[in-house]
Structure 1
């Protein structure tokens, strides 16, 4: 059994496409670093890795097996969500803000309570690192709003035609689902084959997500990443919901 790699600022990530899990009892953990070094986050995503850790921990780099993904065309709209969509769509005070205040969306995700989870993995270091990706046009946010009031939203990473979903939050029922519906519509229109959802959950499965083997995910993701970028900033409005109405 090989050891989990401890990375310095100039060390390369182990490639999860060719390397078996270093520790079979901790499936998906491939590397550890003291902090997120400059340029490291983009490199990790290109290799199918992402950071997930808590305050007072070193940075843990994961590539789960299986990997939860959502094909945009498979997004599921329940009757109750359909009703929420229509109310939002036809309410002139409701709108969305794409690639607006990225930091505010990240902070809202960090402060959103999670079932069976104490604290947050969205540390100050995580906010800083993803904000740098946003400034490079590689991260994006969707805010669901009523007037000036922020109801919910999400943020994600986008490389080529691959989108990596990161975190969502709701301050009003179904508002995070609205953000995901908008993201799926945008991705469908731009030929994004799948949205990475990282870990399998009942909630994501109810919205159309499903697990695939890590080897399949890495192959599909690298192909999507190699394609021409969607571009930045993203520009769309709530009429994208028409795909699901």
Structure 2
């Protein structure tokens, strides 16, 4: 495991341990975050922890053309109960992702420092959000880092059933139209798998990231 200082540098992702932990320390400056995502690395740590940088193997991804929309979700989308916007309420999406109660988790990894860092990326047009609305209220959404050919998903939230799925499906459909290679989902969850995401090797992920 590599200990970072102020130098803008990351070791090769192959140096990560078996759990995917690559490095500790450094900062969350826009420049370091952009270098991290461009290098197949992302931060994930608790409030009272040093900054931890990860590059797991395997990597959970979704190829936009493989988005899986169930019959029930097609009905939800056609019902027009939800409306979707892009990049209109980034800060609110991040706040909701940080505060939403998640089963099996105590607290959040989206610390104040993380919020501030991603807001700076958003101001540079790099971090983006999808918002889902119901009767004028924000009920779901997601945010991530847009590298121009790969979208690195960071977090999503849902206050009502299916809201986060609507956001993710819309993201996948938009990226497919734009010719993006994939959505980086980072780590396996049943929720993501149900939407068509799957694990690939880190080597394969890095090849597509660098292409």
The two structures share one fold, judged by TM-score above 0.5: yes
Q: Which residue of 2 aligns with 1:174?
A: 162
Q: Does 1:203 align with 2:200?
A: no
> Which stretch shows the higher mean deviation, 118-127 or 79-88?
79-88
Contact 2:77 2:166 in 1 (8 A): yes
User: Paired residue for 1:13, among 10, 13, 25?
Assistant: 10
Q: Does 1:72 align with 2:60?
A: no
Post-superposition CA distance 1:210-232 (Å, at most 9, x none): 00000110110121xxxxxxxxx
Contact 1:31 1:61 in 2 (8 A): yes
Measured in 2, the distance between the counterparts of 1:144 and 1:38 equals 27
Q: Which residue of 2 aligns with 1:185?
A: 173
Q: Does 1:32 align with 2:27?
A: no
SS of the counterpart of 1:97? strand
Contact 2:87 2:130 in 1 (8 A): yes
Contact 1:72 1:188 in 2 (8 A): yes
Contact 1:35 1:58 in 2 (8 A): no
SS of the counterpart of 2:57? coil
User: Paired residue for 1:124, among 107, 112, 117?
Assistant: 112
Residue 161 (structure 1) shift = 1.1
Q: 1:38 to 1:174 in 2, by over 3 A?
A: closer
* Alignment gaps of 5+ in structure 2: none
Residue 38 (structure 1) shift = 4.8
SS of the counterpart of 2:79? helix
Q: How does 1:156-167 map to 2 (within 5 A)?
A: 156-167=144-155
Q: Which residue of 1 aligns with 2:200?
A: 212
Measured in 1, the distance between the counterparts of 2:194 and 2:170 equals 17
TM-score by length of 2: 0.96
Measured in 2, the distance between the counterparts of 1:57 and 1:63 equals 18
> Where in structure 1 do 4 or more consecutive aligned residues deviate above 3 Å?
none
Contact 1:9 1:37 in 2 (8 A): no
TM-score by length of 1: 0.83
Residue 83 (structure 1) shift = 1.6
Contact 2:6 2:26 in 1 (8 A): no
SS of the counterpart of 1:186? helix
Measured in 1, the distance between the counterparts of 2:8 and 2:90 equals 29
Contact 1:139 1:156 in 2 (8 A): yes
Aligned residues: 211
